[in-house]
Structure 1
């Protein structure tokens, strides 16, 4: 397949924006999935190809948060179990079933997150000093991470919102550390789902790797921003991204 160089350049630029958004909030795939389809990829292949950028963006983000001491490494193993299990289930569903429920599922997710940020800001942004819970001690948080894994395996767009609800809301991490663990979960879920999409031959590598160049740079810049601002700034950025995701879901 021959790709338009200008469209590939635009894909890389949108990848940069998506990498920034995904690292701090979620919903960046609302930009990249339509662009992949503009390149001529069918929806299922666009869905699989998008994971190439997401997985490499996740590597950069996790390394960055770890470098700045914002990653709770002892909690990673327990959180990976529900996220990876859910991711495998979701990716199998996506590979075998049309994405008919995508738009209402995405809209419901981001609208709920918007309402929570406005009506109960302390839920998604715990005050300093709030004790952190273990996913093994919170059944609700375990199932929340598992549900996020299913959603992330099914389609990437908006999974960050569900993970932040589980990690910041359920486990009471501040938004910087919640985002760090969110990227670990996203990386794990995407690794499982990418293998399944490759197995079903639903990945176009050229646009996928070009997209990844943008998402990696965006993620690198986003981590540096996250560790230098107050949690309230991240909270309102998260709220803005929920509104953008709503608009994108309606338009596309």
Structure 2
């Protein structure tokens, strides 16, 4: 595979857009995965290579949210343990199971999330007076984060929606703090998944690092936008992106 100037531009632009989308909601991998596959990467290699951009985007986004005081630190350990456990199992499944399973899992998850946001908006937008809970002693939160981690380790695309459902819907963080914690979780299980994919020799490093440049710029822009928009705007952006992710799952 030759990395031509056209492909470099494609990866940078799609990476930038995906970085913004992933920081504000999720589903950016529905742009970057097809871009990697257009370059000629097999689906399993594209799925693995995409994690390089996702990981670095998460680090930049985390730093930005932390700088604005929006990274909630009180329950990081409780949130990361089930998410990492799920991510490890999901990545192992993704590495050994047939590639054709990715699409039905992605489509089913995105349609479910779109219906949840539309029919039960409180699932992603807690009331302002609500206090966020802790994972400890909360089996529902444990289950939701374990499932989110598994999904993220398995397919990655759209995992932001699943994490927001767990962090805002179950633990009741507001959407800005949920997005910050979402990036923390994504960085954690993406690191686990990336390690497994590297072990399996499935990462194409040059396109992965080019993509990462775009996603990091996008994440920086996304944090700035998150600080300026309302909870209601973020909710509807989340809904639109979920619909787009559903359409992308059908097309690709």
Deviation at 1:42, TM superposition (A): 1.0
Q: Could you tell me which residue of structure 2 aligns to residue 13 of structure 1?
A: 13
Give the conservation status (yes or no) of the 8 Å contact 1:61–1:223. Answer: yes
Tell me the secondary structure at the aligned position of residue 27 of structure 2.
coil
Instruction: Write the distance in 1 (CA, Å) between the matches of 2:207 and 2:124.
Output: 35
- d(CA) in 1 for partners of 2:228, 2:10: 29
What is the TM-score when the length of structure 1 is the normalising length? 0.98
Structure 2's unaligned 5+ residue stretches are none
Question: RMSD over aligned Cα, in angstroms?
Answer: 0.9
Contact in 1 for aligned 2:91/2:196 (Cα 8 Å): yes
Is the counterpart of residue 35 in structure 1 residue 19 in structure 2?
no
Aligned match of 1:123: 123
Find the residue that maps to 1:132 and give its secondary structure. Answer: coil
2:193 paired residue number: 193
Equivalent pair of 2:20/2:221 in contact (CA under 8 Å): yes
CA distance in 2, matches of 1:177, 1:150: 22
Find the aligned partners of 1:40 and 1:157 in 2 and give their Cα distance: 19
Structure 2-normalised TM-score? Answer: 0.98
Q: Write the deviation string for residues 197-220 of structure 1: whole angstroms up to 9, x where unpaired.
A: 000000011100000011001110
Residue 63 (structure 2) pairs with residue 59 (structure 1): no
Alignment match, 2:209: 209
Q: What is the CA-CA distance between 1:109 and the residue it aligns to?
A: 1.4
Structure 1 contact 53–208 (Cα < 8 Å) conserved = yes
Residue of structure 2 in register with 1:162 after alignment: 162
Alignment of 1:49-198 (within 5 A): 49-198=49-198
Number of aligned residue pairs: give it: 252
Could you tell me how far 1:137 is from its partner in structure 2? 2.8
Q: Could you tell me how far apart the structure 1 residues matched to 2:84 and 2:94 are?
A: 15
- 4+ residue runs of structure 1 moved beyond 4 angstroms? none
- Shift, 1:100, TM fit: 2.3
Bigger shift: residues 39-48 or 102-111: 102-111
Q: Partners in 2 of 1:176 and 1:116 — Cα distance?
A: 19
What is the CA distance between 1:128 and its match in structure 2?
0.5
- 1:119 offset after TM fit, Å? 1.5
Distance 1:92 1:112 in 2: 24
Give CA-to-partner distance per residue, 1:164-214, whole Å, 9 cap, x none: 110000000110000110000000010000010000000011100000011
Describe the superposition over 1:10-31 as per-residue Cα deviations: whole angstroms up to 9, x where unpaired: 1110000111111111111011
Q: Check whether the contact 2:83–2:149 (CA below 8 A) recurs between aligned residues.
A: yes
Give unpaired runs (5+ residues) of structure 1.
Answer: none
